[in-house]
Structure 1
């Protein structure tokens, strides 16, 4: 996409490109896999003394979630780790008073099912190959992941994140099973609220830390809504992030006299991938998820988000009934002595997009640790650790950034015959 026109930042145009690529429907060929048994390890989160938040949660709240208060945040009680049916390591969270570890594990299997359906959809691939240079430039200039398949993959995963993250609040809803909760989330329009109220980095980063800054209110018809306080707080956090990005750009362009491309290049670290997009927004504009924008296509109303949510919910409610999970003991052994070649390899289960890739690379390079290879799909990283102690410190820094590195793959999932 880099040999054609210059990248262009146009949110509505990018949204329309994605809507056209997704038509007539997305992942209609996806079918739920047969019965599976997946093993996982589990560990309690350890809040700071006198608090319901962990150190990582508190630091993120204080640094990036103003004006949100600690009492507005719900924390998970446990972190789990498992290997999905594709052999990729994952981490997730649950609350002991809610729906348990089944939701994040079933969510991941639903994401994989939709990913595989996308990858095997020849009509979708043909539409991508026919994409004009102008449309490709819009996607490159507007989106974080640029390539259409990557954009859809991340969007599907964001849908799964929203389900698993809101499940931390399930005990305050009328829904008592994962199926009821998934249907309730869909029927209540919570995915639309996430798309319009949250900003991307907040949703992804708070998910990785097992926290959610939301209070749900049950309506007379049994559906859920965000409380007015939640809507106000999410809006304030989003506006603060946009204003920070605009402030950097105003200083660079008005005071320093830089062009917009020069400003982005100079202040790339301050703006980061997400805030850089916010910096390009016209003043007074609040960005919404590209999939949530409505369009008129062939004379009919079309919106991508409801289609993705419906398909995701349909698959999840089938997969969760076919899934058996079992807790197994965690391997508590620690690497000591000299580093072998394989000790430079580790996995980051909650690495979900190119923003994560940049953050993880930045954390390691800030410690003078070279990154030889980092793969988003397998979540595998190869780094130039100098010693076991150096690796331990790097892992602690990654955890402080909201990631959960692991040295070894957990036990693989197994597939059983459906009965």
Structure 2
């Protein structure tokens, strides 16, 4: 393959991040603020007839999760929406027979506390500013986000996703409270299992849809593990994804004669977020999470993932005990639900719309409901659609949320982009 792009080297990129973090990625530890009272709305997921999955979940399963079968997937029972302490709208999921809405809300508040901690760490900022051209080139060639701060932020977010997503399986474990469940996940090594056995887009997309293709088995020592069937299925899904990415790149670089950089640029939509992680993997190798790789630093072994997990669980423990949440109704005003919408009412924003794949998904949802899409701007997250009425808009928002996205009426605050760690 051509070398007309920055060097792709997962171990080298991992070492750059580890060297930045090893002196102390969270400084003296994040200040854990008193969380505000958070109000949320909840709505039961609508499953297809004779199925425990929603339409969106089944479509994603059929298209992107082969050879996983429906019976291997656990679905949430409810979706919730709320605004976090930073004023950013969020969507999450929970099961009525599990730990409830507290987990996704406390997970988000934990991520915010850790994000603020690393953003205000002057020593970390100095180390990042001192990175040389070679280190910067490795990050640029290996990761989706090239800025180490953004990579750390998305790694924290992925840790929270793993916790909130596995909480859908709480009834399969001996853990009963939110904090106990988080400690149990850590002690059982499930955060490491996600990092090493899942592939990136599977975790992000199944999380957004409120589903998890995992079964847990309790162990005699009080921990839990993935079942052998789960491990085999996750490996088969990852292998299928790698094979798909390699086929795209082989076709582009051989039949079409494109360079690697041109192939990635041309087929970015088809490759989505896995372009570099999987498309550029040498044949016969398997991807490894950058945070999970061990390194010899300062005369000792160091791995970033356990550090992030320990800090996340510690802060989550405190916030889960202090979060005050309350459900509020989210029904339409029936008096005006069917009146024509105004020009401003046709505009909304999707904070978690990050790539052209997201644009296609959201456009497809709206167009399938007979709603004309006038404009979608990926940079501003702005969408203009020809809704017929407030009721029509509310139903469209529900359909978009069922696809894993969070439409809001107000312009969102600036958010970090996803990075393939």
What TM-score comes out, normalization by structure 2 length?
Answer: 0.88
- The answer as to whether partners of 1:15 and 1:293 remain within 8 angstroms in 2 is yes
Counterpart position of 2:78: 78
Stretches of structure 1 that go unaligned for 5 or more consecutive residues are: 376-380, 411-419
Residue 339 to residue 133, structure 1, CA distance change in 2 (3 Å): farther
Shift in Å at residue 9 of structure 1?
1.1
Counterpart position of 1:20: 19
CA distance in 2, matches of 1:278, 1:310: 28
Q: Map residues 55-70 of structure 1 onto 2, 5 A cutoff.
A: 55-70=55-70
Counterpart position of 1:344: 347
- The structure, 1 or 2, with the larger RCO (C-alpha pairs under 8 Å, 6+ apart) is 1
CA distance in 1, matches of 2:93, 2:170: 13
Root-mean-square deviation (CA), in Å? Answer: 2.3
Counterpart position of 1:359: 357
- Once superposed, which parts of structure 1, at least 4 consecutive aligned residues long, lie more than 6 Å away? 389-394
CA distance in 2, matches of 1:245, 1:372: 27
Residue 26 to residue 92, structure 1, CA distance change in 2 (3 Å): same
Q: Aligned to 2:161, what secondary structure does the other structure show?
A: helix
Residue 143 to residue 312, structure 1, CA distance change in 2 (3 Å): same
Counterpart position of 2:174: 174
CA distance in 2, matches of 1:157, 1:89: 15
Cα deviations across residues 113-136 of structure 1 (Å, max 9, x unaligned)? 000001111111111111111111
Counterpart position of 2:223: 223
Residue 247 to residue 397, structure 1, CA distance change in 2 (3 Å): farther
Counterpart position of 1:255: 255
Cα deviations across residues 26-63 of structure 1 (Å, max 9, x unaligned)? 22330221253211111101111101000001111111
CA distance in 2, matches of 1:335, 1:195: 47
Residue 235 to residue 373, structure 1, CA distance change in 2 (3 Å): closer
Q: Check if 1:287 corresponds to 2:287.
A: yes
Counterpart position of 1:278: 278
Counterpart position of 2:376: 371
- The answer as to whether partners of 1:144 and 1:274 remain within 8 angstroms in 2 is no
Q: Check if 1:405 corresponds to 2:407.
A: yes
CA distance in 2, matches of 1:135, 1:369: 42
Equivalenced residue count is 396
Counterpart position of 2:104: 104
Counterpart position of 2:31: 31
Counterpart position of 1:8: 7
Cα deviations across residues 229-249 of structure 1 (Å, max 9, x unaligned)? 000000000000000010111
Q: Check if 1:90 corresponds to 2:90.
A: yes
CA distance in 2, matches of 1:180, 1:103: 11
Q: Aligned to 2:385, what secondary structure does the other structure show?
A: coil
CA distance in 1, matches of 2:306, 2:103: 21
| Stretch of structure 1 that moved more, 83-92 or 143-152 | 143-152
Cα deviations across residues 259-281 of structure 1 (Å, max 9, x unaligned)? 22222222222122323431100
Counterpart position of 1:144: 144
- The answer as to whether partners of 2:355 and 2:378 remain within 8 angstroms in 1 is no
Counterpart position of 1:415: none
- The answer as to whether partners of 1:92 and 1:210 remain within 8 angstroms in 2 is yes
Residue 231 to residue 373, structure 1, CA distance change in 2 (3 Å): closer
Shift in Å at residue 143 of structure 1?
0.8
Counterpart position of 2:370: none
Stretches of structure 2 that go unaligned for 5 or more consecutive residues are: 368-372, 413-421
| Stretch of structure 1 that moved more, 229-238 or 140-149 | 140-149
Counterpart position of 1:413: none
- The answer as to whether partners of 1:346 and 1:405 remain within 8 angstroms in 2 is yes
Residue 313 to residue 393, structure 1, CA distance change in 2 (3 Å): closer
